[in-house]
Structure 1
């Protein structure tokens, strides 16, 4: 199994576990926080850093 697939399956399992233990409202807030963290980090980058990051992602696509 690919490395990213393991993380996705683990994330789904943790989400369902949080729903069961913490309740739907708190679990939804946790999941939204996990999604918002990388988005906020990307938006904090300078335009030159974003350009460099996009360039690195394109290089990896071809390999």
Structure 2
């Protein structure tokens, strides 16, 4: 599947969720999933991720 199709499906899912779910639940999902994923990392993985963000390899 091409990248464009993946983005289109993701955007369609977001619009559908926005229409069906309350706004507070969408905000909780958008904020909660990355936070939960960060806390699931090992200490060494968190350290490596923090080091990459300090070197500006990735943006927050």
Instruction: Decide which structure has greater helix share.
Output: 1
- Matched with 1:29 is 25
2:45 to 44, 49, 53: 49
CA RMSD of aligned residues (A): 2.1
- Taking structure 2 as the reference length, the TM-score comes to 0.57
1:60 to 24, 44, 56: 56
Unaligned runs of 5+ in 2: 1-13
Unaligned runs of 5+ in 1: 1-13
Count of aligned pairs between the two proteins: 41
Q: Higher RCO, 1 or 2 (CA under 8 Å, sep at least 6)?
A: 1
